[in-house]
Amino acid sequence: MSMQTGRPTPTTPAQPLRSKNPSALPPAWQGHLAMLSFSMLVSLSFTFGHIVARDMAPAALSTVRFALAALLLMAVAKAMRVPIAPVFHRFWRFGLMGGLMAVYFITMFEALRVTSAVSTAAVFTLTPLMAAGFGYVIARQYASRWTLIALTIGAVGAVWVIFRADLNALLRFEIGFGEALFTVGAFAHAMVPALARKLAHDVKPVQTSLGTILGALIVTAIYGAPDLIATDYAALRPAVWLVIVYLAVAATAGSFFLLQYAAQRLPAGKVMAYTYLVPSWVVLWDLLLHGKTQPLMLLLGVFATLLALLMLLRAEAS
């Protein structure tokens, strides 16, 4: 039994909350790791996508991949005992995010009919800066000067890689109908991280990913209905189905989950900054899978994108 004295009992200062697992990475670093994986999965979709580019209409391909991805995420949610019912509560928010992703894919495919992949990729490098702007407007996320400098360096490096270190090719770049159309898609894609932070903070990443994919499925199914009906699925090569499975599992379900997971842990601009790594990943896959070497000057662009990410990590640690 303790005895009370006349002296005041000193109060112990409140201790900061700590993770239940001391060895776990901080949430922000978890977000960075998720987006690093995201950039790798997305880059492989470009490499594998060339295999089926002429075998299936883009709208039909997108609808099938979203349908398979939705079924996969439903199975994952059931296995993890994550309820699906919250997905349909205020479904408009997932329909909005999924619709924006559908706009991105549809405008990309339509733009590729009238312009080159290089031009669309160059437009896409503006997405992280757009995302930083939407992060401020939608979720009141403030980007520091250091972050904006890092995003700009990453954009310059990504453009340098996209144009294969050819300054003349960069100077010949023109804004036409295809580029203008895909700019709309880039804006739509850039809104998603901020909207996920604003609208989906009360649900788990699996639920957000499933809802977003269902929203994208509805929009692409309506848009691509004629192509869906006209496609002879029995005549598709086995390689096409293998690529479709990869696109559905890794590049759709996996990347959507990673994007939503990271969006709850990082500002929108930092989430989208990892898209700068996609061209560098593609260069690496070309080297590993096809033995294609690139000009030494092109590595300057790869270095710039890595420098931008290191700057963002330094800002996170400070």
Note the pLDDT tens digit of each residue in 57-81: 888 988 999 999 999 999 999 999 9
CA-based diameter of the chain, in Å?
A: 90
Task: Answer whether 201's CB lies under 8 Å from 141's CB.
Answer: no
Per-residue pLDDT for 5 more than 60? no
> Which letter does DSSP use for residue 6 in this model?
S
pTM (2 decimals)?
Answer: 0.79
Report the chain's mean pLDDT, rounded to a whole number: 84
Per-residue pLDDT for 13 more than 50? no
One-letter amino acid at 175 equals I
* pLDDT band, very low/low/confident/very high, at 231 (cuts 50, 70, 90): very high
Q: Which of 21-30, 50-59, 236-245 has the highest mean pLDDT?
A: 236-245
Task: Answer whether 193's CB lies under 8 Å from 268's CB.
Answer: yes
Centroid of chain to Cα 183: 16
pLDDT at site 256? 86
pLDDT, one tens digit per residue, over 235-261 is: 999 999 999 999 899 988 998 899 889
Least confident of 114-123, 143-152, 297-306: 114-123
pLDDT, one tens digit per residue, over 270-282 is: 888 888 888 888 8
Q: How far apart are CA 179 and CA 121, in angstroms?
A: 10
pLDDT, one tens digit per residue, over 90-124 is: 999 999 999 999 999 888 878 877 877 777 777 88
CA geometry: angle at 274 spanning 155 and 258, to 5°? 155
Token pair belonging to 177: 């109908």
For 222, other C-beta atoms within 10 Å of its C-beta total 11
